[in-house]
Amino acid sequence: MLDNTTLSQLSQLKTNIQASKEYAEGTVAGTNGRFGFVRLEDGRDAFLSPEKMQRVIPGDRVKVSLKQNSKNQLEGDLETVLEQSLTRFLGQYRVTKKGHFVVPLGDAPGMKSSPINRWIFLPPKGRSRCKDGDMVVAKLLEHPFKDGKASAKILERIGSESDAYIERKYTIAKYDLQPRLNENAQNQTTAIEKAITSKSFGEGRTDLTNLTFVTIDAASTRDMDDALYLEKKVIEGVEQYHLKVAIADPAFFITQKSSLAQSAQKNGQSLYMLGGGVPMLPDSLANDCFSLKAEEERPALVCSQVFDAEGKLLEYHFEKAVIRSHFKLSYIDVTALLEGDSDNEINQLPADTQQMLNNLGEFTERRTRIRKKDFLVGEDQLEYDIQLSNTGKIDKLSPRTRTRAHKIVEEAMLATNLCAGEFLQKHNTGLFTSHSGFREDRLGEVKALLKEESVEHPENLLEADSYIALIKSLMASDKAHLVSPLRRMMPSSELSLAATPHLGMGMPVYATVTSPIRRYADLYNHWAISQLLTDSAFTPITTENLAAVKSALQQSRQADRELYQWLICQYAQKFVGTSGKAKVRIVTQQGFGARLIDSGVDGFVLFPKKQEKTFDAKRMTITTQGNTYALENDVEVKIESVDMEKRRIAFSVIGPEAD
């Protein structure tokens, strides 16, 4: 047995050895071989032998001690795992004579990713009814750090690569978008269904069921969260438009701290992905109970607005009401009525309803003129109708016609959200959608560009009035082409607790309230407005929870883009070698991105590295071989290739080469 003196000496020796070591932290990176590296925080790489790689998984954050090995390489000895890369992960199910395994997938099938090169054992209790090759969602049970052995369990089967709609299923699983309601949320949903069926809408609501509200949406829309009613009046010899926008009222039934509210906050918004949507609220609530269905009484938050004959807002107020949508109308049908199509079934509507729709069309034109005068109105962006096959692949892409009916709904929603922003600002509450104009870090470039182009401008371009005046003057001049590159020096709009302007639209304040079934921010603003109208309970959102909502929205957008790009690359493969007119959408030092106008397919023209070219970052142009390419230019391109691994489509210019 060692005496105390010997033990003390050994302890001191261990301390001295540890003190002489160099420690570092970093992230494990795999290779195509069995060895790997730790990417250290100081930029160095520390070699990990195959034996050490067995104890970690690429992506793990680890602490290592460093040494020089026999090959004079910097090598790492594993000390501890600081953060695991795999918890919930996507993988491929594998069955061999040795057992069942799951192989982690870094990304979607066919895409390049950081290699993990590890088959993780599935113990009998962790297996599922899957076939070899199936894509699955798995959870790591045992990390290999202790003995080099890892195990996992299957959480769900996604499907095989040949399954219909597998791209959508995979993307939803990757981003964990499928809502899962706990028992409390399910019970809450059942209670709401009963309340709607029994018309338990709460006291103090104004009865507006006699007014001819109508919904105008796509024919397939089920979650209808707004309905319109308009009266054209003459008061003291002066024409006025009295608009009522009825909005579904889920906030009355879903209290802020309830399970459904927490689920909605986690989701952020309903996501309308190709092949099917992912609702923010349960289907039975979004598409039935709260939806403003025709001939059904529904509780609503109503914004009543009065406009003069020119379309200028005179007054508004919010109230809780009960309404009944009299007709579910489509954009196509309403447009047919406005354009005098006598063959359309919409002409069978009552005469007073037809007149109201014509008045809505007239009001919309006047309101648009006022918006162009008082605010900022951008050019309509070309959108596309996408037809999918019965397997979830894109069959056809075609430009979507923006109808007069679309503009009716747009103007009504913009006006309502403007009223909501002003109302919430007045009471120092709510969530606002803000746009700050130019980024402060790009302001020098903005001013340099304006100086080079001899454009006079106010000194402080961060002030709302100065910014709006500049954009208006440019759009009305021969310098309108500068607006597109200037927009590249602006941030995106964002949710904010501060009632700051939305300079993208030139509005002094803006808060969305018209889609509480589909957007958490709108639902939150309904809670805020309800407190002001009925003195109900209200808890302001924390900055931490707001950040979580923003993150959820960003994740939803990323998932939507990934699925679209996956499907569009599949679709474009059959058009390699074809050409068409495209519009330039982005310009870089290497080339430019463009979108084919007829099909909406995005691709990139990459100029050879050795080819001489000049990139103007302020004007967002690239010049090469005597041709200059700028944002919004039309250019003739050819689809050269599709890289399914990187999800990229390559274009080449075939002329006319530039404007």
Residues 409 and 216: their CA atoms lie apart, in Å, by 7
> Model confidence over 266-302: pLDDT tens digits?
999 999 999 988 999 999 999 999 999 999 999 999 9
Note the pLDDT tens digit of each residue in 574-620. Answer: 999 999 999 999 999 999 999 999 999 999 999 999 999 999 999 99
On average, the pLDDT of the chain sits at 93
pLDDT given for residue 115 in this prediction: 58
Pair of tokens at residue 490: 């602006």
- The 10 Å CB-count burial string (b at 16+, else e) for 271-286 is bebbbebbbbbbeebb
> Closest Cα partner for 486 from 635, 659, 657, 630?
630
Structure tokens at 604: 């990139």
* Residue 498 CB coordination number (10 Å): 8
* Per-residue model confidence as pLDDT tens digits over 175-207: 999 888 999 999 999 999 999 999 999 999 999
More confident residue, 322 or 4: 322
Question: What type of residue is 401?
Answer: T
Higher local confidence (pLDDT), 658 or 41: 41
Distance CA 561, CA 550 (A): 17
Closest CA to 295 of 238, 214, 413: 214
The closest of 227, 223, 224 to 243, measured between CA atoms, is 227
The SS3 assignment for 217 reads: strand
Check residue 3 and give its pLDDT. Answer: 63
Residues 66/51, Cβ–Cβ less than 8 Å = no
630: nearest Cα among 580, 584, 595, 591: 584
Decide: helix, strand or coil at residue 349: coil
Task: Specify the DSSP element, H or E, that contains 337.
Answer: helix 331-338
Which residues, listed in sequence order, are joined to residue 433 by a DSSP beta bridge?
A: 495
3-state helix, strand, coil in the chain (%, to 5): 30, 30, 35
Contacts of 596 (CB under 8 A, 6+ apart): 580, 581, 582, 602, 603, 637, 639
CA gap 485, 446 in Å, rounded: 9
Q: Give the Cα-Cα-Cα angle 599, 604, 608 (nearest 5 degrees).
A: 145
Q: pLDDT category, 105, cuts 50, 70, 90?
A: confident
Confidence at residue 32, expressed as pLDDT on a 0 to 100 scale: 83
Given this model, what pLDDT does residue 145 score? 96
Report the distance separating Cα 121 and Cα 148, nearest Å. 12
CA 189, 206, 533 angle in degrees (round to 5)?
75
pTM assigned to the model? 0.91
- The three-state (H, E, C) secondary structure of 73-109, written as one string: CEEEEEEEEEECCCCEEEEEEEEECCEEEEEECCCCC
Separation of alpha carbons 257 and 266, rounded Å: 13
pLDDT of residue 458: 84
Helix, strand or coil, per DSSP, at residue 147: coil
At 211-247, the pLDDT tens digits run 999 999 999 999 999 999 999 999 888 999 999 999 9
Angstrom distance (rounded) from CA 77 to CA 86: 21
Two tokens at 383?
A: 């959108």
pLDDT in tens, 388-428: 999 999 999 999 888 999 999 999 999 999 999 999 999 99
- Read off the amino acid at residue 67: K
- The three-state (H, E, C) secondary structure of 519-540, written as one string: EHHHHHHHHHHHHHHHCCCCCC
- Amino acid sitting at position 162: S
- In this predicted structure, the answer to whether residue 106 has a pLDDT above a threshold of 90 is no
* 3-state SS string for 312-331: CEEEEEEEEEEEEEEEEEEH
Q: Do 424 and 511 contact (CB within 8 A), yes or no? A: yes
Which of 71, 44, 66, 42 is CA-nearest to residue 52? 66
CB within 8 Å of 412: residues ≥ 6 apart: 226, 228, 243, 245, 360, 364
- Collapsing DSSP to helix, strand or coil, 504 comes out as coil
Q: Which residues pair with 96 in a beta bridge?
A: 99
pLDDT at 21: 83
Residues 241 and 309: their CA atoms lie apart, in Å, by: 7
pLDDT score recorded for residue 20: 59
Contact 230, 241 (CB under 8 A): yes
Strands (E), 364-490: 384-388, 394-399, 432-434
Strand partners, 92: 103, 135
Closest to 359 measured CA to CA, from 508, 244, 475: 244
Confidence of residue 345 (pLDDT cuts 50, 70, 90): confident
**Ramachandran region, residue 10 (left: φ > 0; alpha: ψ -120 to 50; beta: rest):** alpha
User: Higher model confidence: residue 13 or residue 527?
Assistant: 527
Give strand pairing partners of 67. Answer: 75
For 149, other C-beta atoms within 10 Å of its C-beta total 13
99's tokens:
């057992």
Identify the CA nearest to 122 among candidates 151, 93, 89, 91: 151
Interior CA angle at 645 toward 641 and 647, to 5°? Answer: 65
Is residue 116's pLDDT more than 80?
no
Residues in the chain: 659
